[in-house]
Amino acid sequence: MSFQPDFRTAKSLSIVEEIIEIIADETDDARQSAAFVKWLAFQKQFWKYSWNNVLLIAFQAKQYGFEVTKVAGATKWRDMGRKPTSEAWKERLWILAPVIRKIEDQTTGKEKSVLIGFTSAYVFDVSQTEGEELPSLEYRHTGDDEGLCDALEVEYDRRQIDLDYISEAEMIEEFGSACKGVSMGDKVRILDTLTGAECAATLAHELAHSILHFGPGNRLDFEHSRSTAEIEAESIAACVLGAWGLEYKASAMYLAGWGGDAVKVRESMNRIAHTSKSILSNILPAS
């Protein structure tokens, strides 16, 4: 959708539902794309670690001074076409791995697996490996923001939400990863390297979280799952960009990555439409 001089008006509110329908269908298309199928197969290869092991990994990585993203053992990394670097072996991360033994069930006579103990094992973060390029999802919004960032900043101020742009180092220090943005309800932090439409989309996404997903006392609302919250926030970002006359379909791959599909987007249509119009009604010119 290209920008039109007379497009950015209050009548843009009338296309919000249309944008939701489009982004819902685009999300289904994204889920069927070769890039997404490859990425999903890659994600399924990683073991889900226990909470104790997660803490162990995070503590050790912090001691070594790096951020953990994707973790696996040396054999698993080799299966994916990568291997730990020589330096990585000096900073390998140890976990408690379960020891499983197969025995015969005395009642049924069938073989079953039982936990008999734990042993130490070494794992490595993807940043400690080298080899084949890993599959990723591309959902960056590109191009100029056409003044949308300024308009959204005014909306943050109107809603008395504390907005600040911080460096990647500050983002990692405060939140544990170099994410684009974080909402804490009445406070939002945005990565200061974002520009143009990507910055506008992030501002709209985090604003949606602040409006929809925090209850009284600035407490996180656990009524909805994390995936539902992300689907709603990114769909709202798409609506805001689309109504402003900017390209918004990059959001579809992000929605797919959070388990979104046409059904889930439409299930939240009323919440998405209401919040999108609430934002747009304040930032769109009257005529």
Handedness of CA 140, 283, 186, 171 (dihedral sign): positive
pLDDT band for position 225 (cuts 50, 70, 90)? confident
Range 132-155 average pLDDT: 88
The mean per-residue pLDDT over the stretch 269-274 comes to: 94
226-269 confidence digits (pLDDT tens):
899 999 999 999 999 999 999 999 999 999 988 999 999 999 99
Query: In the predicted model, what is the mean pLDDT of residues 203-207?
Result: 97
Q: Which residue has the higher pLDDT, 118 or 187?
A: 187
If one counts every other C-beta atom within 10 angstroms of the C-beta of residue 79, the result is: 11
Q: Are 202 and 194 in contact (CB under 8 A)?
A: yes
Supply the pLDDT for residue 2.
39
The pLDDT assigned to 7 comes to 53
Distance CA 129, CA 81 (A): 10
Give residue-wise pLDDT tens across range 13-50: 788 999 999 999 999 999 998 888 877 777 777 777 78
Please report which helix (H) or strand (E) contains residue 214, including its range.
strand 214-215
